[in-house]
């Protein structure tokens, strides 16, 4: 059975507020006395759809729900969930219907007989050691010390110290301006570069809370939040399209309206089999293409051309030669550059001595390996050597140090003259270099030649 009362939770009398009568009745639709301790931050959805976001360490108890008349006299009553905030912080989010008549509300009971009713939008209540802070970030509230109920208009913060019914009032921090120093970044290789966001323009701000959102076909998804005095380094993002927003947060922990979103892009690439990113360039096969990530909607130009076109889905070498791909936002002068290089390995093969005779001489092969730009490669880049005497492959032992390979070719048991060939291929079988030498028999008067 529902019993009509003229009380708000713990209080016996509820006065008229701005010609609106606040009346309450108990409801049996909610559990009584349940408690929650937020350890790592908890989101709790209440009956009626209100969301409670509990900061880590927050302690609350759920009471029996009430029906409150939050509108003018004679207006329908609103089912109101009762939350006793023992300590910590709770953010209340309630969708405001188009007709402005609240479908649900939340009564927050705090120490020192401080209470508040969240009717819609975003409301905050914070309980510290000797202070209770109530904020109507977006949407009006009702707040009281004892029975002194007053409207708390949207955009205001009300603070109560101890049992003193008087309060201090200030504005909710305004929406900051936000900018990103380099909104278009190239993210190739193992590590993505840091993005740097700056927020400013709110004098009440103690610091700013930055939110990083990934833009997808379904909308935007929150990636992370971080607090910073005014400038934040955003690291570890995967290639893609993002938005960054900021809230100004005052010394009491109240944050205001969210800033406008600032766009951020990290352009990456999916490399085909056999390609690799090395020394600032993508090394590609002659006909291979790297698929771009996060480049949709950008403009592209190639080498030194001043003409830009819509960025393609993938990029490759132009006529098999080194290619510079330049990307930018439409109309922007700021560019990022992707160097594409042929995935070619160049092998410098030397066979000594110059005029060998077998079996008296031992033939030494020295191979030096370079990339397409003529730079010595590292040992991580594979090379496949092959030695042939006449047309027969010969097994030799190769010793490699850095970009240099050594081997010795022993004399075969057959009779000469012979031709020794050395061929080097890259890890995909493409030729990288070769050399040969003619070896004479020690008993012959003929001189070996190349």
Spans of all domains in the chain: 4-171, 177-267, 271-342, 346-441
Residue 156 or residue 11, greater confidence: 156
Q: Which CATH architecture has domain 177-267?
A: Sandwich (2.60)
Q: Does the CA dihedral 244-248-254-260 come out positive or negative?
A: negative
pLDDT at 243: 97
Q: How confident is the model at residue 132 (pLDDT cuts 50, 70, 90)?
A: very high
Is the model's pLDDT at 4 over the cut of 50? no
The share of the chain scoring above pLDDT 90, in percent, equals 66
Fold classified for 346-441 = Immunoglobulin-like (2.60.40)
pLDDT at 40: 58
Q: How confident is the model at residue 74 (pLDDT cuts 50, 70, 90)?
A: confident
Q: How confident is the model at residue 393 (pLDDT cuts 50, 70, 90)?
A: very high
pLDDT at 319: 87
Q: How confident is the model at residue 1 (pLDDT cuts 50, 70, 90)?
A: very low
Contact call for residues 276 and 283 (beta carbons, < 8 A): yes
Tell me the average pLDDT of the chain: 87
pTM: 0.68
Is the model's pLDDT at 30 over the cut of 70? no
pLDDT at 10: 35
Q: Which range (11-20, 65-74, 316-325, 418-427) has the least confidence?
A: 11-20
Joined together, the tokens standing for residue 283 give 């090394």
Residue-wise pLDDT for 264-284, tens only, equals 999 999 999 888 888 789 988
Tallying the residues shown for the chain, one arrives at 450
- Same-fold call for 177-267 versus 346-441: yes
Q: Which range (198-202, 257-261, 426-430) has the least confidence?
A: 426-430
Across 122-129, average pLDDT: 93
* CATH no. for 4-171: 2.60.120.1440
Across 84-110, average pLDDT: 87
Is the model's pLDDT at 335 over the cut of 80? yes
pLDDT at 282: 92
Q: Which residue has the tokens 């960025």?
A: 311
């Amino acid at each position: 059975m529902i019993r009509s009362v003229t009380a708000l939770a713990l209080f016996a009398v509820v006065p008229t507020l701005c010609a609106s009568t606040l009346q309450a009745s108990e409801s049996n639709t909610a559990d009584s006395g349940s408690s929650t301790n937020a350890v790592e931050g908890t989101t709790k959805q209440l009956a009626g759809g209100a969301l409670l976001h509990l900061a880590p360490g927050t302690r609350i108890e759920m009471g029996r729900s009430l029906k409150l008349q939050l509108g003018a006299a004679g207006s329908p009553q609103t089912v109101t969930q009762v939350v006793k905030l023992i300590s910590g912080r709770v953010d209340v989010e309630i969708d405001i219907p188009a007709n402005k008549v609240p479908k649900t509300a939340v009564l927050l009971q705090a120490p020192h007989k401080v209470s508040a009713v969240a009717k819609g939008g975003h409301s905050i209540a914070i309980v510290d050691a000797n202070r209770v802070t109530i904020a109507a970030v977006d949407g009006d509230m009702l707040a009281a010390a004892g029975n002194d109920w007053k409207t708390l208009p949207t955009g205001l913060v009300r603070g109560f110290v101890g049992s003193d019914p008087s309060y201090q009032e200030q504005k909710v921090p305004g929406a900051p301006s936000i900018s990103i120093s380099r909104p278009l970044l190239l993210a190739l290789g193992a590590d993505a570069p840091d993005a740097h966001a700056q927020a400013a323009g709110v004098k009440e701000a103690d610091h700013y809370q930055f939110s990083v959102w990934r833009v997808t076909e379904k909308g935007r998804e929150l990636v992370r939040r971080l607090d910073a005095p005014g400038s934040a380094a955003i690291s570890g993002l995967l290639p893609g399209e993002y938005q960054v927003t900021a809230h100004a947060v005052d010394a009491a922990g109240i944050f205001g309206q969210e800033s406008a979103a600032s766009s951020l892009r990290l352009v990456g690439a999916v490399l085909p089999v056999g390609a690799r990113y090395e020394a600032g360039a993508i090394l590609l096969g002659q006909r291979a293409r790297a698929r771009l990530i996060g480049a949709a909607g950008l403009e592209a130009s190639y080498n030194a051309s001043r003409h830009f076109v819509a960025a393609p889905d993938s990029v490759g070498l132009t006529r098999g030669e080194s290619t510079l791909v330049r990307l930018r936002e439409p109309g922007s002068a700021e560019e990022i550059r992707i160097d594409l290089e042929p995935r070619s390995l160049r092998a410098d093969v030397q066979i000594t001595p110059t005029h060998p005779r077998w079996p008296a001489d031992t033939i030494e092969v020295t191979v030096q390996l370079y990339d397409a730009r003529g730079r010595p490669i590292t040992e991580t880049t594979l090379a496949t050597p092959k030695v042939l005497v006449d047309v027969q492959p010969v097994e030799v032992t190769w010793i490699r140090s850095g970009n240099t390979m050594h081997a010795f070719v022993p004399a075969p048991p057959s009779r000469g003259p012979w031709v020794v060939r050395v061929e080097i291929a890259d890890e995909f079988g493409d030729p990288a270099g070769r050399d040969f030498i003619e070896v004479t028999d020690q008993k012959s008067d003929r001189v070996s030649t190349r």
